[in-house]
Amino acid sequence: MGEHVNMSWFSNKKKVPQFNHPENMTPIEAVTHLCASIQLADGQADYQEREAWVNAVSELFPEFSEERADRFLKEAQTVLTKKTGSDRMNYILDVINRIKVLLSDEQINVLSPKLSELIEADGIVMTAEMEIAKLVESQLGVSISVDDDL
């Protein structure tokens, strides 16, 4: 008696969105999270970087749903902005390892020049972007060429 019962209908608890962990990601989701990590490496995602991501996704996954891909991009940006330092790099490494499992060698070879385009898209190559590129190179066995003059 006298127990307080919390009615959940009107609960003021905010729902925390649930996102897939890298080990449960689909191919387009994993690629999008990797691209978002590069986009956000300089602290912002601009129009040119978004276009480079759209080009990468549409070439790798011609049947993709733009609405679904946009949702994955927003999720990726939300997840990545909440992570810092080694947590962010470990997350990116998990995403890259998921890509290694999900994508064929042919798809990975298509992805690497698309990542180069993404890194160069805003006209500035940041150290953080190159750190991610080096991680991709070491984990996926590809080369990511970036214009040294940027």
Distance from C-alpha of 135 to C-alpha of 113, rounded to nearest angstrom: 15
24 CB-near residues (< 8 Å, 6+ apart): none
**pLDDT (0 to 100) of residue 148:** 74
Both tokens of 60, joined, read: 């790798």
The pLDDT of residue 13 is: 53
Helical residues (DSSP H) of the chain, grouped into ranges: 27-39, 47-60, 66-82, 85-102, 105-120, 127-140
- pLDDT of 44-58, one tens digit each? 888 999 999 999 999
| pLDDT number for residue 147 | 86
- DSSP-assigned letter for residue 1: -
> Cβ contacts of residue 113 below 8 Å, gap of 6+?
144, 145
- What pLDDT shows up at residue 149? 77
**pLDDT value at residue 51:** 94
Q: What is the mean pLDDT of each run of 10 residues along the chain (150 residues)?
A: 53 59 96 97 88 95 92 95 94 98 97 96 92 97 88
- Which pLDDT score, from 0 to 100, does residue 7 have? 52
Domains of the chain: 25-140 (1.10.3680.10)
